[in-house]
Amino acid sequence: MTASLLKLRLRRFWCIAITARGKAADAELRRQFMDRARKSGLVAAVHAASHHGEEDVLHVLNWALKGRDPWGAEELSND
């Protein structure tokens, strides 16, 4: 998988996670999103690129649940 495709997958994961923010407890959202990231192969793909797959995907997810953009945008509202 190319780096740009992997970045796109991570960005889409973040976009979906940020829309789910506040719809359930953060711990439950973390559990569900990480389970899907593992099953979809996202964690494995990130691991192949950085050797920190689980950690990096969880980092992106945590930023989404806090309403933050790891790519540099300001805090986002949950409107």
User: HSE of 71 in the Cβ direction (CA atoms, 13 Å)?
Assistant: 8
Q: What is the pLDDT of residues 42-66, one digit of tens each?
A: 999 999 998 899 999 999 999 999 9
Collapse the DSSP code of 75 into the 3-class scheme (helix H, G, I; strand E, B; otherwise coil) and give the result: coil
Assigned domain for 52 exists: yes
Assigned domain for 14 exists: yes
Assigned domain for 75 exists: no
- Please state the pTM of the whole predicted model: 0.85
Assigned domain for 10 exists: yes
67 contact partners, CB below 8 Å, separation of at least 6: 18, 21, 75, 76, 77, 78
CA-based angle 14:76:50, to the nearest 5? 30
Question: How many domains is the chain partitioned into structurally?
Answer: 1
44 vs 10, 15, 76, CA distance in Å?
12, 20, 28
Q: What is the pLDDT of residues 13-34, one digit of tens each?
A: 999 999 999 999 999 999 999 9
